[in-house]
A and B are shown apart, each in its own frame.
Chain A
Amino acid sequence: MLSIQHVSKHYAGKTALNKVSLEVREGSVFGLLGPNGAGKTSLIRIITLITAPDEGEILFQGQPITRDLITRIGYLPEERGLYRKMEVIEQALYFAKLKGLSTQEAKTRVKDWFQRLDMWSWRGKKVEELSKGMQQKLQFVLTVIHNPKLIILDEPFTGFDPVNAEVIKQEILHLKEQGSTVILSTHRMESVEELCDDIALINKSEVVLSGEVEEVRHRYKKNEFEVIYEGEALEAIEGGTVLHTTTLKNGQHRSMLSSQTESPKQMLHGLIDQREVHAFKELIPSIKDIFIEIVGGSI
């Protein structure tokens, strides 16, 4: 769908992107992660043709991306605004038409989306009369109004209350079901596992990690396990070490174990003989843990 090849960008002596290469699969939700200032927005601005790369190129469905393709992209920038004095519906129609829709088509689409997201009743209001959350919703609609093949959302959940954030989350999944490809840029990891199929982590202008979400998580697992049991707290275990133990309210204990091998078989054998085991599971790091491990180490 989208192939980013060796893209570099420098601003006045500062490197924003250094030979970044990524592949975004058709119909996937791609998480572009990284701390503030890592280069995410620079990369997005290159994909959306707002700026040009110093080196490298971007292929959109196999072809170098050009201005003609821009109507197939929907972009919600992190720094987003609206014309404050314009009516909500006027604004939506204006943007729909800027994206190349005919007046008639624009009207139909705007009405559909407004009704879907409970916005129809405030269509005649001026933007400055809307709450922040309402404005965010309108901005989201403006981004997807022309049914783009590729949707790029830069920090889409900033400023949303939990209810509306959930609405937007569901809409993103819905768009994916309908065949759109979504690039989601964020430094907040909470929603990544729920939404994303693939991720790339950008730090200090370079891609430091990329791949399928589950694959990445397994790549970073450390053969650590959690066990909940009755009886005395464990002090040592065969085939591994006890990292730490806590006592639960009901008197049971929870211990974190580190196995010497990838398989917990040996540890489990010993455990079952000594204690009454209630739960046993492998600890797979969340994307957030991985993010903090990688980025945190370098800060």
Chain B
Amino acid sequence: MIGLITRREYLSRVKKKSFIIMTLLGPFLIAAFYGAIIWMAIGGANEETLHLIAVNDESGLFQEDLKNTGRFQFVKTNNEVPVEDVFGQLNIPKTATLDQPKGIVFVSENSLTLTERSALVNQLEAVIEKQKLLRAGLTESTLDSVKADIQITEKISSEEGIKESNSAVNAGVGFVAAFLIYIFIFMYGVQVMKGVVEEKTNRIVEVMISSVKPFQLMMGKILGIALVGLTQLLAWLILSGVMISVISAFVGLDQAPQTMEQAGMNAPVAMQQGGEAGQVLNAFLQLPFLKLIGAFTFYFIFGYLLYSALFAVIGSAVDAETDTQQFMFPVTLPLIFGFVAAQSAVINNPHGELAYWLSMIPLTSPIVMVVRMPFDVPWSELLLSMILMIFGFIATTWLAARIYRIGILMYGKKASWKELWKWLWYKG
């Protein structure tokens, strides 16, 4: 029976025009999305505009040393107020000394952006610091020789031996995987909810329930939509693969690894490290792929199953889609929390306490565990989390089915949380 229902849910969706269009457009949208991220990361979005800045230095502290940069071009002036052509004017009072460089004022018509402001402050600070060092007896050549450029090669000792690692690569891979799961749960969980609401408002549900058990109807729908999602994901992967190889062929073969790594990881890091691309790629290739893909698939599927059962409950509790809001928020809260935590706390400290617990709780583990995975999570933790996930899924589905079976037959009243609780205990 579930098979029949799954089949109908699957076919009715896959045949839709919107599905076909999204499946074909998806890779382009993803490519555009990543393009936009990379563009922002390399500074395309906040492109530097050159500002002409007048400097009225009465203190004489900045006589020689304000160098023109990509952002700022400095001209000396004696005017009290800025003339028309300049963006703004720096007034440095007589009272400012090397030890107490205070009272500096910047006058302008338009305010500086945050980055511009800190760049300007940095430049001023650097000048003062340099002069102080010179005053302390250092020569300019010494100053130049102190500059250091250090790069760290990370290696991880794990159950599989010592290997190269790069926390930026790890974070990037984990983050992209978590993002996919997050999007998938949302997109297709909401589809489950819509499907339930549709059956309920169409009044088809009672006809169905007299032929199949509510649980079968719910699971059939959830599984059918899961297959739709997997179909779409698979199609996207294949299409993206084709696109990447086509692009690589155009750009030239040697560029291929870089393209891949940009798509697969944190772009700014890749860009800054420039020449270290080889090392980044190496770290990427050294990730335990089988374990990663296995865990990703597991959390991808079970995360969706768990949440879509909850979405099905929401659908069963309301009469119209517009009423779903009050229930949506609490249900999606752990998901959003997990995602936000993954971006900050978990990436910063992937083996910390918060990361550990969030990767054990079934409501957040599909996101958090996947982010932690590239940082080498021990098998024992992974297995424990998976077992908890399976139990979480069974418990949630059981609870969901109990509320669902009552909810789908309730019309005309807006259910409250209290009512859902009551439905849970109804007999039969």
Using a CB–CB distance below 8 Å, which chain A residues touch chain B?
Answer: 12, 45, 48-54, 67, 70-71, 73, 75-77, 79-86, 94-95, 97-99, 139, 142
CB of A70 within 8 A of CB of B203, answer no
Residues of A contacting B205 in the complex (Cβ-Cβ under 8 angstroms): 81
How distant is the Cα of A250 from the Cα of B428 in the complex, in angstroms?
65
Distance (Å) between the CB of B193 and the closest chain A CB? Answer: 17
Closest residue of chain B to A95 (Cβ to Cβ) is B211
Residues of A contacting B208 in the complex (Cβ-Cβ under 8 angstroms): 98
B187 in contact (CB, < 8 A): no
Residues of B contacting A49 in the complex (Cβ-Cβ under 8 angstroms): 210
* Residue from A48, A70, A81 in contact with B204 in the complex, judged by beta carbons closer than 8 Å: A81
Q: A77-B210, A80-B204, A81-B202 are in contact. List 14 more A-B contacts (CB 8 A).
A: A48-B210, A50-B209, A52-B428, A53-B428, A54-B427, A75-B210, A77-B206, A81-B205, A83-B204, A85-B12, A86-B12, A98-B1, A98-B5, A98-B212
B230 in contact (CB, < 8 A): no
Residues of A contacting B207 in the complex (Cβ-Cβ under 8 angstroms): 75-77, 80-82, 95, 139, 142
Total residue contacts A-B, CB cutoff 8 A: 62
* Residue from A52, A73, A97 in contact with B4 in the complex, judged by beta carbons closer than 8 Å: A97
Residues of B contacting A83 in the complex (Cβ-Cβ under 8 angstroms): 12, 202, 204
If A51-B428, A77-B210, A81-B207 touch, whether A94 touches B202 (CB-CB below 8 Å) is no
How distant is the Cα of A97 from the Cα of B208 in the complex, in angstroms?
12
CB of B203 within 8 A of CB of A81, answer yes
How distant is the Cα of A75 from the Cα of B210 in the complex, in angstroms?
7
Distance (Å) between the CB of A60 and the closest chain B CB? Answer: 14
Residues of B contacting A98 in the complex (Cβ-Cβ under 8 angstroms): 1, 4-5, 208, 211-212
Could you say which of A79, A82, A86 has the most chain B C-beta atoms within 10 Å of its C-beta? A79
Closest residue of chain A to B428 (Cβ to Cβ) is A52
Contact with A along B180-208 (1 / 0, CB 8 A): 00000000000000000001001111111
B409 in contact (CB, < 8 A): yes
Residues of B contacting A52 in the complex (Cβ-Cβ under 8 angstroms): 427-428
CB of A94 within 8 A of CB of B4, answer yes
If A52-B427, A70-B210, A77-B207 touch, whether A84 touches B4 (CB-CB below 8 Å) is no
Give residues 31-73 of B contacting A (CB, 8 Å): none
If A48-B210, A50-B409, A70-B211 touch, whether A82 touches B1 (CB-CB below 8 Å) is no
* Residue from A67, A73, A79, A99 in contact with B203 in the complex, judged by beta carbons closer than 8 Å: A79
Closest residue of chain A to B216 (Cβ to Cβ) is A98
Residues of B contacting A48 in the complex (Cβ-Cβ under 8 angstroms): 210
CB of B202 within 8 A of CB of A84, answer yes
If A12-B422, A98-B4 touch, whether A79 touches B211 (CB-CB below 8 Å) is no
How distant is the Cα of A61 from the Cα of B211 in the complex, in angstroms?
19
Distance (Å) between the CB of A262 and the closest chain B CB? Answer: 46
Using a CB–CB distance below 8 Å, which chain B residues touch chain A?
Answer: 1, 4-5, 8, 12, 199, 202-213, 409, 411, 422, 427-428
Closest residue of chain A to B427 (Cβ to Cβ) is A52
Residues of A contacting B1 in the complex (Cβ-Cβ under 8 angstroms): 98
Distance (Å) between the CB of A71 and the closest chain B CB? Answer: 8
Distance (Å) between the CB of B241 and the closest chain A CB? Answer: 33
Closest residue of chain B to A12 (Cβ to Cβ) is B422
Residues of B contacting A73 in the complex (Cβ-Cβ under 8 angstroms): 210
How distant is the Cα of A76 from the Cα of B350 in the complex, in angstroms?
57
CB of A50 within 8 A of CB of B210, answer yes
Residues of A contacting B427 in the complex (Cβ-Cβ under 8 angstroms): 52, 54
How distant is the Cα of A75 from the Cα of B427 in the complex, in angstroms?
22
If A67-B213, A97-B4, A98-B211 touch, whether A82 touches B204 (CB-CB below 8 Å) is yes
Distance (Å) between the CB of B1 and the closest chain A CB? Answer: 7
Distance (Å) between the CB of A10 and the closest chain B CB? Answer: 10
**Nearest 7 A-B pairs (CB), nearest first?**
A52-B428, A81-B203, A81-B204, A81-B202, A75-B210, A77-B206, A79-B203
Residues of B contacting A86 in the complex (Cβ-Cβ under 8 angstroms): 12
Closest residue of chain A to B408 (Cβ to Cβ) is A50
Residues of B contacting A53 in the complex (Cβ-Cβ under 8 angstroms): 428
Could you say which of B1, B199, B206, B208 has the most chain A C-beta atoms within 10 Å of its C-beta? B206
Closest residue of chain B to A74 (Cβ to Cβ) is B210
Residues of B contacting A76 in the complex (Cβ-Cβ under 8 angstroms): 207
CB of A50 within 8 A of CB of B211, answer no
Closest residue of chain A to B422 (Cβ to Cβ) is A12
Closest residue of chain B to A142 (Cβ to Cβ) is B207
* Residue from A54, A79, A84, A95 in contact with B411 in the complex, judged by beta carbons closer than 8 Å: A79
CB of A94 within 8 A of CB of B428, answer no
Residues of A contacting B212 in the complex (Cβ-Cβ under 8 angstroms): 98
If A67-B213, A79-B411, A83-B12 touch, whether A50 touches B206 (CB-CB below 8 Å) is yes
How distant is the Cα of A62 from the Cα of B203 in the complex, in angstroms?
32
Residues of A contacting B428 in the complex (Cβ-Cβ under 8 angstroms): 51-53
Closest residue of chain A to B7 (Cβ to Cβ) is A94
How distant is the Cα of A80 from the Cα of B12 in the complex, in angstroms?
20
Residues of A contacting B209 in the complex (Cβ-Cβ under 8 angstroms): 50
Distance (Å) between the CB of B220 and the closest chain A CB? Answer: 10
Distance (Å) between the CB of B366 and the closest chain A CB? Answer: 31
Distance (Å) between the CB of A137 and the closest chain B CB? Answer: 15
If A50-B409, A86-B12 touch, whether A80 touches B206 (CB-CB below 8 Å) is yes
Closest residue of chain A to B15 (Cβ to Cβ) is A85
If A50-B409, A54-B427, A98-B1 touch, whether A79 touches B206 (CB-CB below 8 Å) is yes
A-B contact pairs, 17 of them (CB 8 A): A50-B409, A52-B428, A67-B213, A73-B210, A75-B210, A76-B207, A79-B203, A80-B204, A81-B202, A81-B204, A81-B205, A83-B204, A85-B12, A94-B8, A98-B211, A99-B211, A139-B207
How distant is the Cα of A49 from the Cα of B427 in the complex, in angstroms?
12
How distant is the Cα of A75 from the Cα of B211 in the complex, in angstroms?
9
